[in-house]
Structure 1
Amino acid sequence: MWHLIKYRFLQITRNRPMMFWALAFPMILGTLFYISFGNIGISATGDSDWDPVPVAVINKLETKSSGTFFADFLDAMNGSVLDIQDVKNEKDAKKKLENDEIFGIYYVKGIPSLTITKNGVSQSILTSLLNTYNQNAYLFKEIARTHPERLTDAVASLQTNGSFITEKSVSGKTLNPTVLYFFALIAYACMSGAYLSIEAVRDTQANLSPLGARRSITPYRKQFLIFIDMLVLIFIHFINVMILTFYVNYILDIDLGNNYLAILATNFMGSLIGICLGLMIGCIGKLTFSAKIGICTSTTLLTGFLSGLMFGNMKDVVEQNAPILNRINPAAVLSDAYYCISVYNDTLRYQRCMITLLIMSVLFLGIAFLGVRRERYDSI
């Protein structure tokens, strides 16, 4: 038994193409995620990391009017959200806008306006501020027209409501929305263990590889060989997933929570179901090795997509339209388990996820054993 474990371990770890898809590719994907949006808006500690957006303000008012309220609004934002630049005139402001020294020009007039030349995050912030002001101005006009006696209360409410509302997760930490992509990434990496187990199953089938032919004439039963392979594969892939988790948590500085025991358990269950999925696919009928790899790729990508790997809110969309898919999609269940650890701190929901993964793993493994039990060869 130890002889089989030793040489199976060496054989799997030396298979560079399969180890790439199981370990290197998820790490590369995580790095690309981090470069793209890993630090957008909120740092790992939950604090805002925006720099004030440089803008110019041009006063178009010939006399004092209600437009001065907009100037006061911009002055209140200066230093926190905006960085209002000193400009001599409108021509100087437009020159700075063309040279990307500022991101927009606000015009203080009867109907305030904004001039931008590009699309981006900073420009979106400027547009959002203008829209917010216009909405509040319209609201105050309606209150003044219909209930003038409540105008003072409305102004006081607007000045104080920002201090009462903060975005908090259930566990008391500010939620960075982009972390959902990294939950889905780790879940996808767990499912990618299927590549390793498909390769291992090929080495037990005489019609697919010379090694499979040699192993088929040994006195060991195929179920025993697959069981040994599964133990080695789970150990190797668990290490792969832990390396990815360490990389995401400590190198990319993405907060995955501090319940390390639960993270270990979830990574183990993720490794288990990924390996069992590959064993099931590998034992399907008499398909070629390429066909099985194609099925594996389609399955891992589809489950990853539905769990939010490509579109962060996809799991919510599925939950609203076809919630059963989130219950039978192992990647979605894994992502939900990581979410429970880091955000919800919901023990019952987390336990339900773990039980679901265990049931799926047993089901996949049972199908794999049934598949190899019926295999017979006329000659080897």
Structure 2
Amino acid sequence: MRHLIKYRFIQTVREWSVMFWALAFPIILGTFFFVSFGSGVTGEEMDAIRVAVVEQETDQQEGGAFGEFLEQMDGDTLEIEKVDEKQALKDLKGDEITGIYYTGGGPSLTVAKSDLNTSILKALLDSYNKNAHMIMKIAQDHPERLMQAVEALDGWQTMTEEVSVGGRTMNPNVSYFFALIAYACLSGAFLGVQASLDGQANLSALGARRSVTPTHKLRLVLTDMSVLFFIQFVNIIILTVVVRFAFGIDLGGNIGQILLVDLLGSMIGVSMGIMIGCVGKLSESIKMGLTVVLTLFPGFLAGLMFGNMKNIIEQNCPIINRINPAAVLSDTFYCMGVFDDAERFTRNLMILGLMSVLFIGIAFFAVRRERYDSI
């Protein structure tokens, strides 16, 4: 038994192409995420955005209201400098400010490029215009409720903080890292497929030798699975450590919970790969291509490429999120890091465990039915 474990371990870690997809690629992808999102994903405070405010004489009442709105943002979100238009345009061209707000005659914004800071400036202007339009409509239709509406808008930031789910707030970009770990877990399928191919006499010389060995097939399968589970578990732990400490992403939960999720995620990825490798008599290249699809597509549905995808599916077809292992894994990290929902956390773990058992069962029955005319 020790001999089987030793050589399966050596053979697996020497498969550089397989180990790349199972370990290196998720870390590289996570690095790109981290570089792209910058400090916006770690919770670090961002510097105030430097903007110029150009006051216009037209419609002084509206301009004054917008000016007061900007002054409330001055210091924490914005660093405001009131100048004339000529100086503002000069500063914008010299990249000394991010944008120019014009007051009066309908507030407007001028920027020179498109990035995160300009998006924030545009969002502030859109928020003001939306709220101003709503106040005007209430004043026309229900003037008796005007003061109540104004008070509600004055406290909108405080109210948003108070109703944060589970008492915790989270940058929406963190969802990409939850989906990344889920995708990495499923990437263990590459290890499982390769091990399955190594055991099939019609696809590899090693498979031919293993098929005539007196060692029971069940023993071979269990040995392979144990080694692959261990290797993939170590891979996911390495990725988790990188995400938590190198990228500074708070995964929530305690160490025991995180390790349990990593273990079940590793099991479901490897089990899915073994199932893909054992079922059907497709060529090695087709099975590897199928593995790429069956790891990337669930990752996409879980929000790996588009962060809000899982929420869209939850609103329109929630059953997909219940049977998509990547979505279940991602949601499990949400339960630890955001929702603090023990019941939902337990349900997700049970789903992952049942999926793993199902995949292993399908693979085992497929292996039992293998027959060769000659070897």
Q: In which range does the TM-score fall when normalised by the shorter chain?
A: over 0.9
Amino acid at match of 1:8: R
Q: Are the aligned partners of 2:196 and 2:274 in contact in 1 as well (CA < 8 Å)?
A: yes
1:320-359 equivalences under 5 Å are 320-359=315-354
Aligned-partner Cα distance in 2 for 1:320–1:75? 38
Which residue does 1:78 correspond to in 2?
A: 74
Q: Confirm whether residue 309 of structure 1 aligns to residue 318 of structure 2.
A: no
Aligned-partner Cα distance in 2 for 1:91–1:265? 61
* Cα distance change of structure 1 residues 288 and 150 upon mapping to structure 2, 3 Å threshold: closer
Q: Confirm whether residue 271 of structure 1 aligns to residue 255 of structure 2.
A: no
Which residue does 2:42 correspond to in 1?
A: 43
1:122-161 equivalences under 5 Å are 122-145=117-140, 151-152=146-147, 154-161=149-156
Which residue does 1:30 correspond to in 2?
A: 30
* Cα distance change of structure 1 residues 150 and 333 upon mapping to structure 2, 3 Å threshold: closer
Which residue does 1:99 correspond to in 2?
A: 94
Aligned-partner Cα distance in 2 for 1:255–1:168? 20
Aligned-partner Cα distance in 1 for 2:64–2:13? 70
Amino-acid identity (%) = 54
Aligned-partner Cα distance in 1 for 2:49–2:331? 36
Aligned-partner Cα distance in 1 for 2:244–2:344? 23
| Counterpart among 49, 56, 67 of residue 52 in structure 2 | 56
Aligned-partner Cα distance in 2 for 1:378–1:349? 50
Q: Are the aligned partners of 1:169 and 1:175 in contact in 2 as well (CA < 8 Å)?
A: no
Q: Are the aligned partners of 2:54 and 2:82 in contact in 1 as well (CA < 8 Å)?
A: no
Q: CA deviation at 1:348?
A: 1.5
Moved segments of 4+, more than 6 Å: none
Number of equivalenced pairs: 375
Q: Are the aligned partners of 2:26 and 2:180 in contact in 1 as well (CA < 8 Å)?
A: yes
Aligned-partner Cα distance in 2 for 1:25–1:63? 57
Consecutive unaligned residues of structure 2, counting only runs of 5 or more, are: none
Aligned-partner Cα distance in 2 for 1:190–1:154? 48
Instruction: Give the TM-score taking structure 2 as reference length.
Output: 0.92
Which residue does 2:255 correspond to in 1?
A: 260
* Cα distance change of structure 1 residues 216 and 93 upon mapping to structure 2, 3 Å threshold: same
Consecutive unaligned residues of structure 1, counting only runs of 5 or more, are: none
Q: Are the aligned partners of 1:167 and 1:174 in contact in 2 as well (CA < 8 Å)?
A: no
RMSD: 2.2
Aligned-partner Cα distance in 2 for 1:290–1:211? 17
Q: CA deviation at 1:160?
A: 4.1
* Cα distance change of structure 1 residues 330 and 108 upon mapping to structure 2, 3 Å threshold: closer
Aligned-partner Cα distance in 1 for 2:9–2:145? 75
Q: CA deviation at 1:168?
A: 5.6
| Counterpart among 357, 366, 370 of residue 371 in structure 1 | 366
Amino acid at match of 2:54: I
Q: Which protein has the bigger helix share?
A: 2
Amino acid at match of 1:61: E
* Cα distance change of structure 1 residues 139 and 195 upon mapping to structure 2, 3 Å threshold: closer
Q: CA deviation at 1:312?
A: 1.2
Which residue does 1:108 correspond to in 2?
A: 103
